[in-house]
Amino acid sequence: MTTPLTPGEHVGSVDLGGETVHWNLGDSQSYGQYLRLDLLLAAQRPLTTEHNEMLFIVVHQVSELWMRLLRHELAAVIDCVRRDDLDASFKMFSRIDHVQGQLVAVWDVLSTMTPFDYSAFRNALGRSSGFQSMQYRLIEFQLGNKNAELIKVHQGDGQAYAELERALRAPSLYDEVLRLLSRRGREVPAASMSRDFSQPYEASKQVTAAWLSVYLNAEKDWDLYELAEHLMDVDHRFQTWRFQHMKTVERIIGYKPGTGGTAGVSYLAKALRLRLFPELWEARNSM
Ligand code: HEM
């Protein structure tokens, strides 16, 4: 039981008396072994002696770890939608929302780096850039933002390239959602459902009308209405990530080109126009 501190009382260290701590782990694995902390904490290898390079590495690695979880949760959500199990998907959508929040939050940490801090180690990066993040492309493909050209940068890594190609050709979350809408009696053009999934999705008026009917009949099809709003959350958060990335980059490198070979901020600005679930935005013009 916790007793409140009395006025003037000071606790200098935790009293372990009465705790049955496993000081000896016996045959059991330890915390560090289970989490492979030997690998994880050996993976920060700055190429310079610059103090701020560690921040740069850790922020990227933390982002990649959150992306790892995002891919895992998105794969499960896609599976749920395919099986018409929306209730189970909603729990994962909530988690996805928080994970995306963590991805957005890293920009505040990175923004403590000034242009001089960054330029002190920038040359050591060579041509490496987030543009080559395989997980980022896999997530874009899971969500339906298909652009076959982008995987070319992975052609030197056969395994990564094959995985990206598979993801490119697979139906995305939105493709599965459209099939679900059709199963639930909404009019979705056949061409939107069985198509070459490696190609960018093209919005259609019928799908906008289908979403409108979901919003207008929310009482009847509450789960579809909830699904629509979860998709909006994902799209909105993704946009926020892109925007914060662009503004952080602008703050740190101005309008200089990126290490990946693009013009930098002006390239990142183009992606701000992307919409993962276009008809959900379009439908809002008629609500
Ligand atoms: C000082 C910090 C950063 C700078 C200056 C920066 C700069 C850039 C630039 C200029 C690009 C465009 C491609 C290029 O020419 O390089 C880019 C792309 C990208 N960056 Fe960053 N970035 C930073 C931090 C991060 C972090 C922490 C992540 C998290 C993983 C990240 C992920 C990405 C991704 C995924 C792309 C590809 C975006 C797309 O193609 O739509 N970046 N970055």
Domain with 128 in it: what CATH number? Answer: 1.20.58.480
The answer to whether residue 37 is domain-embedded is: no
Please give the distance, rounded to the nearest whole angstrom, from the Cα atom of residue 19 to the centre of ligand 1: 48
Task: Compute the half-sphere exposure of residue 157: CA atoms within 13 Å on the CB side of its CA.
Answer: 11
Residue 1's pLDDT is 61
Residue 91's pLDDT is 97
The answer to whether residue 165 is domain-embedded is: yes
Range of the domain at 86: 48-250+268-286
Q: Is 170 helix (H, G, I), strand (E, B) or coil?
A: coil
* Ligand 1 touching residue 32 (CB < 6 A): no
Q: Which atom of ligand 1 is nearest to the CA of 150?
A: 40
Residue 8's pLDDT is 80
What is the number of structural domains in the chain?
1
Give, for ligand 1, the residue of 268, 270, 275 to mutate: max count of ligand atoms closer than 8 Å to Cβ: 268
Residue 10's pLDDT is 79
Please measure the distance between the N-terminal and C-terminal CA atoms of the chain and give it in whole angstroms: 54
**What is the model's pTM?**
0.96
The answer to whether residue 20 is domain-embedded is: no
Contacts of residue 249, Cβ cutoff 8 Å, sequence gap at least 6? 258, 264, 265, 268
The answer to whether residue 72 is domain-embedded is: yes
Task: Compute the half-sphere exposure of residue 133: CA atoms within 13 Å on the CB side of its CA.
Answer: 18
Q: Do the beta carbons of residue 58 and residue 109 sit within 8 Å? A: no
* Ligand 1 touching residue 262 (CB < 6 A): yes
> What are the DSSP calls for the chain, one per residue?
-PPPPPTT----S---TT----SS-TTSPPHHHHTTHHHHTT----SS--TTHHHHHHHHHHHHHHHHHHHHHHHHHHHHHHTT-HHHHHHHHHHHHHHHHHHHHHHHHHTTS-HHHHHTTGGGGTT--GGG-HHHHHHHHHHT---GGGGGGGTT-HHHHHHHHHHHHS--HHHHHHHHHHHTT----HHHHSS-TTSPP---HHHHHHHHHHHHTTTTTHHHHHHHHHHHHHHHHHHHHHHHHHHHHHHHHTTPPPTTSS-SHHHHHHGGG--SSHHHHHGGGG-
The answer to whether residue 218 is domain-embedded is: yes
Residue 247's pLDDT is 97
* Ligand 1 touching residue 63 (CB < 6 A): yes
Q: Encode the chain (287 residues) as per-residue pLDDT tens digits.
A: 677 888 888 778 899 999 999 999 999 999 999 999 999 999 999 999 999 999 999 999 999 999 999 999 999 999 999 999 999 999 999 999 999 999 999 999 999 999 999 999 999 999 999 999 999 999 999 999 999 999 999 999 999 999 999 999 999 999 999 999 999 999 999 999 999 999 999 999 999 999 999 999 999 999 999 999 999 999 999 999 999 999 999 999 999 999 999 999 999 999 999 999 999 999 999 98
The answer to whether residue 87 is domain-embedded is: yes
Please give the distance, rounded to the nearest whole angstrom, from the Cα atom of residue 128 to the centre of ligand 1: 10
The answer to whether residue 27 is domain-embedded is: no
* Ligand 1 touching residue 130 (CB < 6 A): yes
Give, for ligand 1, the residue of 64, 102, 133, 249 to mutate: max count of ligand atoms closer than 8 Å to Cβ: 249
Task: Compute the half-sphere exposure of residue 257: CA atoms within 13 Å on the CB side of its CA.
Answer: 9
The answer to whether residue 29 is domain-embedded is: no
Q: Do the beta carbons of residue 53 and residue 121 sit within 8 Å? A: yes
Q: Whose CA is nearest to atom 31 of ligand 1?
A: 130
